[in-house]
Amino acid sequence: MPSLLLLAGDGIGPEVMAATERVIHFFNKRGAGFELQSGLVGGTAVDNEGAPISEATLAKAMAADAILFGAVGGPQYDGLSYDMRPEAGLLRLRKHFDLFANIRPAICYPALADSSSLKREVVEGLDIIILRELTGGVYFGEPKTIEELGNGQKRAIDTQVYDTYEIDRIGRAAFDLARTRRNHVTSMEKRNVMKTGVLWREVMEETHKDGYEDVTLDHMLADAGAMQLVRNPKQFDVIVCDNLFGDMLSDIAAQLTGSLGMLPSASLGAVDSTTGRRRALYEPVHGSAPDIAGKGIANPIAMIASFGMALQYSFGMVAEAKALDAAIAETLAEGLRTADIAAPGDEAVGTTEMTDAILGNLEMS
Amino acid sequence: MPSLLLLAGDGIGPEVMAATERVIHFFNKRGAGFELQSGLVGGTAVDNEGAPISEATLAKAMAADAILFGAVGGPQYDGLSYDMRPEAGLLRLRKHFDLFANIRPAICYPALADSSSLKREVVEGLDIIILRELTGGVYFGEPKTIEELGNGQKRAIDTQVYDTYEIDRIGRAAFDLARTRRNHVTSMEKRNVMKTGVLWREVMEETHKDGYEDVTLDHMLADAGAMQLVRNPKQFDVIVCDNLFGDMLSDIAAQLTGSLGMLPSASLGAVDSTTGRRRALYEPVHGSAPDIAGKGIANPIAMIASFGMALQYSFGMVAEAKALDAAIAETLAEGLRTADIAAPGDEAVGTTEMTDAILGNLEMS
Ligand SMILES: CC(C)[C@H](C(=O)O)[C@@H](O)C(=O)O
Ligand SMILES: CC(C)[C@H](C(=O)O)[C@@H](O)C(=O)O
């Protein structure tokens, strides 16, 4: 039986996860047979279990086929120490399961093109993916310290480290992904100031030559790339970059679509050569939105669409994933809007109504 | 006599610098008395002097009151070694003269609001500054290496280092700048994943308490900040951030205005307590644009406006700086457009005609 671990987390996490459970149950009624477990993560886990993720929860994650992750963080946790901050739970999961390939689609639904701060013609029909390296770079490199220098001064250090194999495997993931799309990869780095950028470009070139020459590979400096993303995002297909650039670039790409509350993501590990399985975590790109938590108004679409990515990438249920995406698009086309995507004058619906409507459209598919 | 070193560099650098010299001569005819020297930098310097900047040029820079810098780089230099790449000349100047405070205004001229990829109402009247720390962080930290690991693998390392004093001085620069504007500083970092981000925020708070409490200080995570910059840039006044985030965020901010060819920047050192002087380099935000080099069509405004910043920050010629800005705005309002800012159907003028028009408007001021 396929199994999922649900880690709802903080803020609006539990609300959007509850909405997604209803969608999972829909597929179970149709025989999918998902087994669900749940656990705590983030600030809620610190409050209840003394750490942003407990060993018991990690063990549950190990036993599950895939993890659905909500969101973590909130102002009440701002005072926690670095090791106890809610984000540490998420970072630990990424590293522990070696989820190096973070797929972040930026799709602009026609029904929502006007809610972007960009001109309609610049973003309408946008469909690009930021493929972010997720387990290396400055997020995890050592030393990562703050030392006292005496004289009242402190020195903080972060280290960005990349090995050939780390760049090679994310490069292959990018080329494989591009082959299912428009066959075009743009690699972004700062080779003019960073040695990791120099190696990044070198390995991308080598990997490209190793059986991927049918895919077009371009290079851009990350600063110029950020500009191009704002100027003319439709020029891209798959953008591949390191962990920190990916953090920035995927958030920018998400913002272009005007609907952060709609965007899912998948974080994948390597395919296990004996079991054929692949570790995976699915999470919305949005955060925990503490300001609207508990009000029943959060947009559940990004979380539901993250489950859709799980259907596709972890369970090979491609038809079901397509049906779910279509039900979401249909619901938007019908005019349903949660507050975050409502235009002035639109009537906004709550989390439950939005989920009802998606389930209704699923029923009919 | 006030003295300037002109480093035109590569690509369109020499063309926009020649245009700017005409503007300098205009002020000299009115008695400003600028003494001009010139030197090579970037790929041109590698070709002619064997290094991206020579010791002789550094000595000239030392003797000058301020440096005007064009742009560096081009495809013919892509094969150069890391130490010989054109950018190394610029990075050496920044570090050598400790030009830690990089002021990058992003201003959206009303006449050009439609050339942005963002909606007019989002960017019209935009006037913000990205204050980027320019001599620290991952640009200069050691180790910065690529090592062979044996087994065909390489490991690349970059190091981001910040000391208290470096954050403190850029913080003070931000608060001082905000006081001349809308009194609002937003500090951006990634304290949730970087120790330098933790120290950055801590020192910003301390410096703020040390006599700057009349200025509003906000904090944002850099990824969320990048989003907010695209969503609603007018919410900001002065954004202060580290070298690498500043590189990305200032390019995004520049792109919002729809007119990269218009944006100047200033890189300032500390005020020398005995001479009262401050080392300074002024450069356009745009690059060397090799694709249009030598065609006489480059937009000279960013370079001319960079000289305008020199008038203001290095020479205290505030009235002259204002007159120059007004002449540029007037020229745009009259409808003159170089190719980069021409709307479909507009007739584009060349570098010389644009400069003529600006000089014409200056004459009348
Ligand atoms: C929560 C935080 C640690 C995380 C990151 O920086 O990776 C988030 O911004 C993201 O993009 O998933
Ligand atoms: C040319 C390059 C080294 C430089 C940088 O990265 O700082 C440029 O992008 C800039 O922003 O001035």
Per-residue pLDDT of chain A (365 residues), as tens digits, is 999 999 999 999 999 999 999 999 999 999 999 999 999 999 999 999 999 999 999 999 999 999 999 999 999 998 999 999 999 999 999 999 999 999 999 999 888 888 899 999 999 999 999 999 999 999 999 999 999 999 999 999 999 999 999 999 999 999 999 999 999 999 999 999 999 999 999 999 999 999 999 999 999 999 999 999 999 999 999 999 999 999 999 999 999 998 888 999 999 999 988 988 899 999 999 999 999 999 999 999 999 999 999 999 999 999 999 999 999 999 999 999 999 999 888 899 999 999 999 999 999 98
A140: closest CA of chain B, how far (Å): 9
Mapping DSSP onto H, E and C, the string for A230-256 reads HHCHHHCCEEEECHHHHHHHHHHHHHH
Q: Is A189 in the pocket of ligand 1 (CB under 6 A)?
A: no
| Dist. CA A6–CA A61, nearest whole Å | 9
Of A74, A24, A37, residue with least CA distance to A52:
A74
Q: How far is CA A33 from CA A325, B3, B175, B306, in A?
A: 20, 78, 59, 65
Give the DSSP H or E segment for A346: none
With CB atoms and an 8 Å threshold, state whether A226 touches B251.
Answer: yes
pLDDT at B344 over 90: no
Name the residue facing B198 among A146, A164, A192 (closest C-beta). A146
Residue A169: phi and psi, rounded to 5, are -70, -35
A168: closest CA of chain B, how far (Å): 10
What amino acid positions of B are annotated as catalytic residues?
Answer: 139, 190, 223, 247, 251
DSSP of B63-75, one letter per residue?
A: HSSEEEEEE---G
- Only one residue has tokens 């004459």, namely B363
With CB atoms and an 8 Å threshold, state whether B230 touches A230.
Answer: yes
| Omega of the bond leading into B143 within 30 degrees of 0 (cis) | yes
Confidence of residue B318 (pLDDT cuts 50, 70, 90): very high
| Average pLDDT, integer, range B118-146 | 97
With CB atoms and an 8 Å threshold, state whether B163 touches A149.
Answer: yes
The three-state secondary structure class of A179 is helix
Count of C-beta atoms within a 10 Å radius of residue B163: 16
| Dist. CA A217–CA A201, nearest whole Å | 11
pLDDT at B177 over 90: yes
Name the residue facing A160 among B158, B231, B287 (closest C-beta). B158
A62 in B contact zone (CB under 8 Å)? no
- Only one residue has tokens 């030559």, namely A209
B299: closest CA of chain A, how far (Å): 18
CB pairs under 8 A between A and B: 174
What is the residue with the minimal CA distance to atom 8 of ligand 2?
B247
pLDDT at B110 over 90: no
A72: closest CA of chain B, how far (Å): 12
Between A66-75, B184-193, B310-319, B341-350, the lowest mean confidence (pLDDT) is in B341-350
For the CA of A265, the closest atom of ligand 1 is: 12
For the CA of A193, the closest atom of ligand 2 is: 3
Say which CATH architecture domain A1-107+260-365 belongs to. Answer: 3-Layer(aba) Sandwich (3.40)
* CATH number of this structure's domain B127-256, picked from the four choices 3.40.50.920, 3.40.718.10, 3.20.20.30, 3.30.230.10: 3.40.718.10
pLDDT at res. B112 = 87
B222 in A contact zone (CB under 8 Å)? yes
Of B220, B266, B277, B265, residue with least CA distance to B245:
B220
pLDDT at res. B298 = 97
Which-ligand-closest: CA of B140?
2
Confidence of residue B142 (pLDDT cuts 50, 70, 90): very high
Give B-chain residues touching A200 at CB under 8 angstroms.
156
Q: How far is CA B221 from CA B138, B173, B174, B193, B289, in A?
A: 18, 20, 17, 10, 32
* Residues B118 and A119 sit within 8 Å (Cβ to Cβ): yes
pLDDT at res. B130 = 98
Name the A residues in 229-248 with CB < 8 Å from any B CB. Answer: 230-232, 244-245, 247-248
Name the residue facing A138 among B73, B194, B254 (closest C-beta). B194
User: Which of B67, B134, B247 best tests ligand 2's pocket when mutated (most atoms within 8 Å of CB)?
Assistant: B247
Q: Integer distance in angstroms from the first to the last C-alpha of chain B?
A: 24
| Dist. CA B93–CA B95, nearest whole Å | 5
pLDDT at res. A111 = 82
Give B-chain residues touching A146 at CB under 8 angstroms.
195, 198-199
Sign of CA dihedral A87, B170, B116, A187: negative
For the CA of A190, the closest atom of ligand 2 is: 6
Name the residue facing A230 among B73, B117, B163 (closest C-beta). B117
Task: Give, in words, the CATH class of B1-103+260-365.
Answer: alpha beta
pLDDT at res. B345 = 87
Q: Give the up-direction half-sphere exposure of residue A101: CA atoms within 13 A in the CB hemisphere.
A: 21
With CB atoms and an 8 Å threshold, state whether B252 touches A198.
Answer: no
pLDDT at B276 over 90: no
Which-ligand-closest: CA of B247?
2
Work out the widest C-alpha separation in chain A, in whole angstroms.
70
- Only one residue has tokens 């000391």, namely B163
Q: Do domains B1-103+260-365 and B127-256 have the same CATH topology?
A: yes
Count of C-beta atoms within a 10 Å radius of residue A240: 28
A197: closest CA of chain B, how far (Å): 8
pLDDT at B4 over 90: yes
Q: Any idea where the domains of chain B sit in the sequence?
A: 1-103+260-365, 127-256
Name the residue facing B118 among A119, A195, A251 (closest C-beta). A119
What amino acid positions of A are annotated as catalytic residues?
Answer: 139, 190, 223, 247, 251
For the CA of B223, the closest atom of ligand 1 is: 9
Binding residues of B, by number, are 74-87, 94, 104, 132, 223, 247, 251, 287-299
| Dist. CA B241–CA B249, nearest whole Å | 9
Sequence letter at residue A65: D
Which percentage of chain B shows pLDDT scores above 70?
Answer: 100
pLDDT at res. B247 = 97
Count of C-beta atoms within a 10 Å radius of residue A363: 9
Q: Express each pLDDT in B205-251 by its tens digit.
A: 999 999 999 999 999 999 999 999 999 999 999 999 999 999 999 99
Residue B92, classified by CB atoms within 10 Å of its CB into exposed (0-12), middle (13-18) or buried (19+), is middle
pLDDT at B115 over 90: no
| Best to test chain B binding among A159, A165, A245, A265 (most B CBs inside 10 Å) | A159
pLDDT at res. B25 = 98
* Residues A168 and A203 sit within 8 Å (Cβ to Cβ): yes
With CB atoms and an 8 Å threshold, state whether A163 touches B152.
Answer: no
| Average pLDDT, integer, range B78-104 | 96
| Dist. CA A244–CA A201, nearest whole Å | 16
Of A329, A331, A311, residue with least CA distance to A320:
A311
| Long-range residue pairs from A313-320, CB within 8 A, at least 24 positions apart, any chain | A313/A103, A313/A266, A313/A268, A313/A278, A313/A280, A314/A2, A314/A65, A314/A66, A314/A278, A314/A280, A314/A282, A315/A2, A315/A65, A315/A66, A317/A27, A317/A32, A320/A27, A320/A32
A195-225 exposure pattern, b = at least 16 Cβ within 10 A, e = fewer? bbbbbbbbbbeebbeeebeebebebbbbbeb
DSSP category for residue B41: -
User: Which of B83, B84, B87, B104 best tests ligand 2's pocket when mutated (most atoms within 8 Å of CB)?
Assistant: B87
Of B84, B101, B103, residue with least CA distance to B92:
B84
Q: A147 - beta bridge partners? A: A155
